[in-house]
Structure 1
């Protein structure tokens, strides 16, 4: 998928040449899983709570069972929009990311404010209001940025142009977050 190509491209840019990286990847794509598993310098922690993706771990993003400051990098792509307690999840990401570590975050985005309503519980309601039956909100870029800042992260909102060679989308946004 284009978002996987973008993620790997950005990861290589940030971590090229580093050794012994601990990478936590929530619900990893098959293509990235295969590519990263072949990289010897990365200690890879692919996790999926639902068993829908290839993963060796089953971490709940709101209670990650590792010590503080453990991971050098985290992939959190198209995860937070599924999590009812997203502020708790963001807090956990902050806790387990090392100082100087970086995480890549992306969700579907809309203009305006974050749209969420905990009263929408059925799959039909969620499909109608959030665009997918297992989503619990739709973020705006500024709304997600604000929640990440409130948790203590430094946030860089990266906006990309279309790249026909890689098949990447125009105006795609990826939030690169860091802990200092």
Structure 2
């Protein structure tokens, strides 16, 4: 995306584990309100203790009519979270990774986003052999949240 001259692309990583131009805290994004047309939030929210604050911030910095593409690991049923689980070993056991703090369900995350003012569309890429589209490999579900 950086090579496309017609867009202004901000790569960000809070912990600086990846090559990124910015280090934004998703619960306190250092940008003015209504800044971004598009946000890609791929495998982020399941790491964030205060996801309500993160969703408020995403809504704040997104322009009206803008969209956020969100993907996390999903499970059936309700969102599973338990704030008393803090050790990496227990997080791995309960949430599937040492630094996750919850596992969302598709409907649970959709409802949370709607509670923060977003309109949410679910998009599922059906399983196809050798199917990769813009970084999505089927079968995969993403949520598109629009302000």
Identify the TM-score tier after normalising by the shorter chain.
Answer: over 0.9
Question: SS where residue 8 of structure 2 aligns?
Answer: strand
* Corresponding position of 2:16: 51
Do the aligned residues in 1 keep the contact of 2:39 with 2:68 (CA within 8 Å)? yes
Provide, for residues 53-74 of structure 1, a one-character-per-residue CA deviation record: whole Å limited to 9, x for no partner.
1101010000001111100000
Matched, 1:144 2:109: yes
Alignment of 1:1-180 (within 5 A): 36-167=1-132, 168-170=137-139, 172-179=140-147
* 1:160 Cα deviation from its structure 2 partner: 1.8
TM-score, normalised by the number of residues in structure 1: 0.78
Distance in structure 2 (CA, Å) of the matches to 1:100 and 1:111 = 30
User: Can you give the 5+ residue segments of structure 1 that lack an aligned partner in the other structure?
Assistant: 1-35
* 1:163 Cα deviation from its structure 2 partner: 2.6
Provide, for residues 98-117 of structure 1, a one-character-per-residue CA deviation record: whole Å limited to 9, x for no partner.
00101100000000000000
User: Can you give the 5+ residue segments of structure 2 that lack an aligned partner in the other structure?
Assistant: none
Distance in structure 2 (CA, Å) of the matches to 1:41 and 1:100 = 19
Provide, for residues 20-47 of structure 1, a one-character-per-residue CA deviation record: whole Å limited to 9, x for no partner.
xxxxxxxxxxxxxxxx011001101111
Distance in structure 2 (CA, Å) of the matches to 1:119 and 1:53 = 29
* 1:49 Cα deviation from its structure 2 partner: 1.0
Distance in structure 2 (CA, Å) of the matches to 1:49 and 1:100 = 26
Number of residue pairs matched?
A: 143
Provide, for residues 76-122 of structure 1, a one-character-per-residue CA deviation record: whole Å limited to 9, x for no partner.
00000000000100110000000010110000000000000000000
* 1:164 Cα deviation from its structure 2 partner: 2.1
CA RMSD of aligned residues (A): 0.9
TM-score, normalised by the number of residues in structure 2: 0.95
Do the aligned residues in 1 keep the contact of 2:95 with 2:102 (CA within 8 Å)? yes
